[in-house]
Amino acid sequence: MRYEYRFPELPELKDTSIWVENRGKRLRTKVEGKCPLWLRVIRRWYFDMFSFTKPIVQSPDGNFYSLYLPPIPSPAHARMFSSTISSIYFKRPLPLAVTIGVTTDCQYLCAHCSAAGRSESASILSLDELKRVVRECLDLGVSNITFTGGEPLLRSDLEECVACVPSELATSQVFTNGLALTINRARSLKEAGLHGVQISLDSPSPEEHDRLRGMTGAFKAVKEGVKNALDAGLYVGVSTYATKRVALDHTLVKIVELCHEWGAHEVSVFDAISTGRLRDQEVELLDAPSRKVLLKDAKDMNRRYRGKLRVVTQTWTNSGHGLSKVIGCLAAHMQFHVTAQGDFAPCDFTPLSIGNVREKSVAEIWRLLLKHPAYCKRSMNCRMQDPDFRKKYIDTIPEGADLPYPIELLESEKRPQSNS
């Protein structure tokens, strides 16, 4: 596969093309037209990084490196790269990814659910509304769309949501607990154009996973879900989260070994964050020593399964390690979240609403987010794990309020207090 990457947003680069080709596992690039030095440097760094990393799968549609990235090269990835270059050039972030809630329903009542506490009173987005939201996200330049919940597979029209993501513009994935991921459902999602699924796994121990999910057979459902998704031809990731204890116990090693045995392509490790049902509980959050253990395990696993399975950790990008100097907190930088009721939140874990897509366009709310004092500057660390941010914006959310809580309201409530 060989594809021409262009930069339509940048007048200075109107005659510039970067041709990207996957020759086996390596990526080759060739510049045509005038190309400033800064772009040559970025091109080299960016594509060499992938050549060094090695793809998990090589396919005629491009090399597959991660469920969070379109295959390289591909039209969708050309959009992602072009948005990245525009963000750097204009010093104004353009989102690359969005997570969209499609339902609040779920078969489980997990202790760590990040969606818990979300408004039950507001109606969920209709299919037509969801299609409009997807279109607006694509117009804004998003090239990776994740459908989430609740449990998205409980929505019978999920295939129609997936079908409105053209593969030449973006890749789509679904975050699921796997319980309803039968072979027929996996096939119909694949036929609708789905790129991949991320199935959540809390523990490598069947008993512990079942306990955390509150249902016997939950672990078996994950294993079967992985198999069904693979049989249907989907890319498969397994997502999990790390507390301090999980990291220090090297649980990640056992999870990755299991996922490799099942044939999964990727394991994503999110930090445990005090949000959703965990918001008011004592959570053993990762600290510097446990992050170090987690990152070492991830590195070892990536070396062991290179070219077969990838381990990606949130810690690598947002906590002063690894890519944190380039990426940092994804909110207001690379991604945002739309809840099933249309609230626009900075990310899936942040219980704050910047506006509602029923009242304003996605682009309009993205611009509001970028102007907000809490989000107008890049944060290299996770805001939801930053005590100062939490003190100001999370701890002040009124008890029992529907989430995500309007950030505007939070500020107007603060004003009279400070005047008194």
Measured from the CB atom, the residue of 229 and 331 that comes closer to ligand SF4 is 331
Q: List all residues 6 or more positions away from 45 whose beta carbon is below 8 Å from its beta carbon.
A: none
Residues 133-172, mask of contacts with ligand SF4 (x by CB under 6 A): ----------------------------------------
Applying CB under 6 A, the span of 127-135, 288-296, 299-307, 381-389 interacting with ligand SF4 comes to 381-389
Minimum distance from residue 384 beta carbon to ligand SF4 (Å) = 4
Q: What phi-psi label fits residue 78: left (phi over 0), alpha (psi between -120 and 50 degrees) or beta?
A: alpha
CB of 51 to ligand SF4, least distance (A): 27
Contact range with ligand SF4 by CB under 6 A, out of 27-35, 117-125, 243-251, 326-334: 326-334
Stretch that binds ligand SF4, among 94-102, 162-170, 370-378, 379-387 (CB under 6 A): 379-387
Nearer to ligand SF4 by Cβ, of 235 and 349: the residue is 349
Q: Choose between 22 and 143: whose C-beta lies nearer to ligand SF4.
A: 143
Residue (349 or 405) nearer to ligand SF4, CB: 349
CA distance 58 to 104: 36
Closer by beta carbon to ligand SF4, 55 or else 149? 149
Shortest Cβ distance from residue 114 to ligand SF4 (Å)? Answer: 9
The smaller minimum CB distance to ligand SF4, of residues 262 and 349, is found at 349
Size of interface with ligand SF4, in residues (CB under 6 A): 11
Q: Which is nearer to ligand SF4, 153 or 384 (CB)?
A: 384
The distance of closest approach from Cβ of residue 333 to ligand SF4 in the complex, given in angstroms and rounded to an integer, is: 8
Q: 238 vs 329, which CB is nearer to ligand SF4? A: 329
Answer yes or no: are the C-beta atoms of 213 and 177 closer than 8 Å. yes
Task: Identify residues 173-232 at the interface with ligand SF4 (CB under 6 A).
Answer: none
Q: Is 264 in the site for ligand SF4 (CB under 6 A)?
A: no
Among 382, 394, 403, 407, binds ligand SF4 (CB under 6 A): 382
Q: In the window 27-56, what residues touch ligand SF4 (CB under 6 A)?
A: none
Near ligand SF4 in 329-368, by CB under 6 A: 329-331, 347, 349-350
Q: By CB under 6 A, name the one of 115, 162, 384, 394 that touches ligand SF4.
A: 384
Please, which of residues 286-325 interact with ligand SF4 by CB under 6 A? 318
For the chain, give the secondary structure using H, E and C. CEEEECCCCCHHHCCCEEEEEEECCEEEEEEECCCCHHHHHHHHHHHHHHHHHCCCEEECCEEECCCCCCCECCHHHHHHHHHHHHHHHHCCCCCCEEEEECCCCCCCCCCCCCCCCECCCCCCCCHHHHHHHHHHHHHCCCCEEEEECCCHHHCCCHHHHHHCCCCCCCEEEEEECCCCCCHHHHHHHHHHCCCEEEEECCCCCHHHHHHHHCCCCHHHHHHHHHHHHHHCCCEEEEEEEECHHHHHCCHHHHHHHHHHHHCCCEEEEEECCCCHHHCCCCCCCCCHHHHHHHHHHHHHHHHHCCCCCEEEEHHHHHECCHHHHCCCCCECCCEEEECCCCEEECCCCCCEECEECCCCCHHHHHHHHHHCCCCCCCCCECHHHCHHHHHHHHCCCCCCCCECEEHHHHHHHHHHHHHC
Least distance (Å) from ligand SF4 to the CB of residue 28? Answer: 33
30, 23, 78, 70: which is closest to 51 by C-alpha? 23
Q: How far is the CB of 202 from ligand SF4 (least distance, A)?
A: 18
Residues lying near ligand SF4 in the complex (CB under 6 A) are found at 273, 318, 329-331, 347, 349-350, 382-384
